[in-house]
Amino acid sequence: MKTPAFLRWCPQCQRATDNAPLPQMGSDGHRLRCLRRGSPHAFGRRLYCLECSHIWTSLELPEDYVNELLQSEKLVEEMRRELAMAKLLLAKDQRDKTAEVTEPAIKLHRAA
């Protein structure tokens, strides 16, 4: 008997390959997962890559929810860049202020 297989993106192969579902313990209801409070529940399915033998779990979610997550990821990345720039500017400002305080003291020391 041939193993049923589905074309899926194997995380190990990093490309689409044939994957077979592994026997699941419990009912379909037990495979629903609440990922975060208030989020849609994901349906988990253990798969076996027929090319590399990697065993992994896929999660099925509504496409709109995944698109929201991707949009949030972009916003978080943008905020990280802005935070890094703010820290850089703050460090430069503090360095400039330190130089303003110490340079006159050095000149006075040399003049004496």
The contact set with Zn ion (CB under 5 A) reads: 10, 12-13, 17, 49, 51-52, 54
Cβ contacts of 42 within 8 Å, gap of 6 or more: 32, 33, 35, 59, 60, 61
> Shortest gap between Cβ of 57 and Zn ion (angstroms)?
14
Interatomic CA distance for residues 5 and 95, integer angstroms: 61
Q: Nearer Cβ to Zn ion, position 22 or 52?
A: 52
Q: Nearer Cβ to Zn ion, position 42 or 49?
A: 49
> Shortest gap between Cβ of 27 and Zn ion (angstroms)?
28
Q: Nearer Cβ to Zn ion, position 51 or 82?
A: 51
Calculate the CA dihedral of residues 99, 103, 105, 109 and round it to 10 degrees. Answer: 140
> Shortest gap between Cβ of 51 and Zn ion (angstroms)?
5
H or E stretch including 63?
Answer: helix 63-111
